[in-house]
Amino acid sequence: MLPTHVGDDSEVSPVHSLIVQLEPAEEKQGPHRDNNMSVWCRASHMRIFLYRLCPLVAFVVTIMVALHFLLPSAEHEEQGRINPVLKGEEVRPRQGEEVHPRQGGSPVNVAVYYESLCPDSRNFVLNQLQPTFNILPSNIMSTSYIPYGKAETITNHDGTYSFKCQHGPEECRKNRYHACGLVQTGNDQGETVKLVSCLFRNWRVQGRAGDIEAFKSCIEAVPGGNWQTLQDCGDGAQGNQLLANYGQMTHSLQPPVTFIPTILINGVKSDEAFRNLLQAVCNAYTGERPQECGS
């Protein structure tokens, strides 16, 4: 039988000692177990919260992406106000803006008085005329070509014509070929620019072999262009008559031609056009200034 009363510390029973040893351990384990339970509970609540939050986040992201693609940005809206003008389309003003009618000016006429073997004429056509024509909208500029230059027309006794050209007889012949080529392009501004540019790009030194092939390739690149027709024109009476007509136009200029090429903007000689054709055309255009002209 175990004693029920302990008189002093020296007579503590083994069972009592075991209980005393276990009590502190239980006191230490209690709070630790409570902490673990609290952390686990908080983690469970967080997982439940995130699980419920994910569909909401996905929904919000979907709405934001849809709005990004459906609603135009400020930059796109501004572009939308500019591009239709160049296309001639109607532009509706924003709320609160005044309506200003769009003014369309007449095309600026650029008349080029040139020679077929003139280096300055070649430089102007390839580096000024063709790039400017390609840059500007088609309703801004129109062109006309007078291939004669500093030549002289001689009327023979039988009514036929002969010519003296600045760069010799070969230039007179090529001037006639240019004139006959312009007949085949007619009023097609784009094809005319392409033909004249092609002829200058593929020109040859006087008498060099391959010159005929260069003219042939240029005229046959024109829709409906025919080399045999051009050659018959250039070497016949029609070519002489065309060149004589261009001579009258050139000699009638006031003041007289002193430099080739001579460039007329709306009938007025323009030194600016020879140096910077794009700027000269933009300055002469009376309609709404296209964006290609800059500010």
**What confidence tens digit (pLDDT) does each residue in 238-262 have?**
999 999 999 999 999 999 999 999 9
Residues 215-234 have pLDDT tens digits of 899 999 999 899 999 999 99
- The whole-number pLDDT of residue 19 equals 40
- The whole-number pLDDT of residue 26 equals 42
Percent of the chain with pLDDT over 90: 55
| Helix (H), strand (E) at residue 153 | strand 152-155
- The whole-number pLDDT of residue 51 equals 57
- Exposed, middle or buried: residue 127 (CB in 10 Å: 0-12, 13-18, 19+)? exposed
Residues 217, 210: Cα–Cα separation, whole Å: 11
Mean of the per-residue pLDDT values of the chain = 76
Residues 84, 86: Cα–Cα separation, whole Å: 5
Residues 279, 123: Cα–Cα separation, whole Å: 17
pTM of the model: 0.64
Domain residue ranges in the chain: 14-70, 108-293
Residues 48, 56: Cα–Cα separation, whole Å: 13
- The whole-number pLDDT of residue 294 equals 83
Residues 169, 116: Cα–Cα separation, whole Å: 11
Instruction: For residues 204-209, give the mean pLDDT.
Output: 52
102 pLDDT higher than 60:
no
- Exposed, middle or buried: residue 200 (CB in 10 Å: 0-12, 13-18, 19+)? buried
Q: Topology of 108-293 in CATH?
A: Glutaredoxin (3.40.30)
Instruction: For residues 97-105, give the mean pLDDT.
Output: 43
- The whole-number pLDDT of residue 214 equals 83
174 vs 94: which has the higher pLDDT:
174
Residues 112, 104: Cα–Cα separation, whole Å: 24
